[in-house]
Structure 1
Amino acid sequence: MKKPWIMAQTWRDLVFLHWPISPDALRPFVPEELEIDLFEGRAWVGVVPFIADHTRLRFSLPFPIVGTYRELNVRTYVTCNGRSGVYFFSLDADSLPAVKAASAGRFLPYRYARMKVVKKDRRYAFTSRLAKPVIGESFRMGFTPSAGMLEASELERWLTERYCLWTKPKTVLYRVDIDHVPWQLQKIHIEIAENSLAGFLPAGWNRQEPLAHFSALQKTRFYPPVKETI
């Protein structure tokens, strides 16, 4: 039986950006216990910027310091023991307390970054740059969501309806289950001005126009980590 959830969070103004990629390009960077999930023979890399809001533990009010912050993650999709979920290459946030808490013991690959979100009328501008310039990863984009919800295709559901993540701090693989209602997706117009994320991937992996979607609001719950037995 699944244990009670331990943390809740609301995701706002979230953008899904997805690029197809060869699974061989990802294999060296994904734990061997996880199988890279494929759709019609292709793996996918996702870049997901959003605002994390109302972060709180069960039976508590939102944290006054880290309750709201901006986040940008780079991910791919994997399977293990019959489940399909997410594996994160990086998770950047502009809250140092949130980064320290989430990356304690190297449990998740969080990094501190300077981020900004500006909204004017219906258009957003999102920027992110790692606080340590020597690493040099940065991301800048503008986007405008379209009115109305879309009926998701099989691929769109495959990319977005993921209800667990895996992480492998040191030598132990853990799974964290996530609960939320199905995504309400909108079409979106994007302009990516800069994207130097995931420099370990082959040059040009993000050269083509990505599949892009927007979701205004998603309330989520996180469950305790479970040691994955292979």
Structure 2
Amino acid sequence: MDQRWERLVFLHWRVEPHIVAPLLPRGIAPDTYDGFTYVGLIGFEMVGAGLGYGRPVPHLGTFGEINVRLYSRDGDGRRGVVFRSLDATRAAVVLATNAAGVRYRWSHIDILDSGVDDPERTVGYRSRRLAPPHRNATTDFVVAPGTRDMSDDPLSVFLTARWGMHTSVAGRPVFVPNTHRRWPLRDATLVRCDDDLIAAAGLGALATRPPDSVLYSDGVRTQFGRPYLATPVRPGRAEVDERR
């Protein structure tokens, strides 16, 4: 599946690995940086999603998405993300992806962009979930993109240079590869964040404190490949740190 992700807002909170470990698929461990892992709240516009390279699905291939994600590692050391929730505005996309085992939730999403010509530009996302689970859960977060290039910042690379997602099929860990060019990242300043989605994803009141990392990206083109079975993490090998 080929698609472009645009106007991305990344909010991340640092947490102890043991907090997220029970929320990961069996055989998958938290990926850590300086002894901590992270919970991400990410909003973006998915543009031209379709089957195969450059073949968008008319009327369905462009929509807003907000996801809550965790950072993962399998037994081969392959890094990925685990989605705790994905909210999208297209009901047909939600139905199709749920049938494929991807947990999209139908939501109303507003993309809040004051425009590239605004010298004090702000970009954000506001949503309300329209169907169970957690019907009426909302989020509203806005950032002011900065000018500092964060593309080589080690923590920012750790949080964004993810080449696939981990999930579970019939109780076995699976890796779905994703390819894209290096993220063009900038610093950003949080304007506001009023969020229910992180708590709805089983992570408590984390969003009541300011995020530890705030980033913005204009976007990249990405392509998902075919999933395959991942090697489970062996007992005693879960604590492998990016900085060690």
* TM-score computed with the length of structure 1 as normaliser: 0.89
Residue 198 of structure 2 aligns to a residue whose secondary structure is coil
User: 1:118: how far off?
Assistant: 2.8
For residue 4 of structure 1, what is the aligned residue in structure 2?
none
Residue 81 of structure 2 is aligned to residue 86 of structure 1: yes
User: 1:144: how far off?
Assistant: 2.0
- Counterpart CA distance in 1 for 2:82 and 2:124 is 26
> 1:176 touches 1:226 (CA, 8 Å); kept in 2?
yes
Q: Map 1:19-98; keep pairs closer than 5 Å.
A: 19-58=13-52, 61-80=55-74, 81-98=76-93
For residue 207 of structure 1, what is the aligned residue in structure 2?
209
* Aligned residue among 8, 11, 28 for 1:17: 11
Gaps of 5+ in 2: 233-244
Q: Map 1:1-230; keep pairs closer than 5 Å.
A: 7-58=1-52, 61-80=55-74, 81-105=76-100, 107-120=101-114, 121=118, 122-132=121-131, 135=134, 136-147=136-147, 149-199=149-199, 200-204=202-206, 206-230=208-232
Letter in 1 for 2:17: P
Deviations 1:115-153 (A, max 9, x none): 001322322342011113771421102222123533432
- Counterpart CA distance in 2 for 1:124 and 1:205 is 18
* 50 and 151 in structure 1: CA distance in 2 versus 1, 3 angstrom threshold: closer
Aligned-residue Cα RMSD (Å) equals 1.9
Letter in 2 for 1:49: G
* TM-score computed with the length of structure 2 as normaliser: 0.85
> 2:5 touches 2:45 (CA, 8 Å); kept in 1?
yes
For residue 3 of structure 1, what is the aligned residue in structure 2?
none
- Counterpart CA distance in 2 for 1:140 and 1:203 is 15
> 1:46 touches 1:74 (CA, 8 Å); kept in 2?
yes
Letter in 2 for 1:181: R
Which has the higher mean CA deviation after the structures are superposed, 45-54 or 140-149?
140-149
- Counterpart CA distance in 2 for 1:162 and 1:48 is 14
* 88 and 124 in structure 1: CA distance in 2 versus 1, 3 angstrom threshold: same
> 1:108 touches 1:169 (CA, 8 Å); kept in 2?
no
Which has the higher mean CA deviation after the structures are superposed, 94-103 or 149-158?
149-158
* 25 and 114 in structure 1: CA distance in 2 versus 1, 3 angstrom threshold: same
- Counterpart CA distance in 2 for 1:164 and 1:134 is 25
Aligned length: 223
- Counterpart CA distance in 2 for 1:65 and 1:113 is 17
> 1:19 touches 1:206 (CA, 8 Å); kept in 2?
no
Residue 147 of structure 2 aligns to a residue whose secondary structure is coil
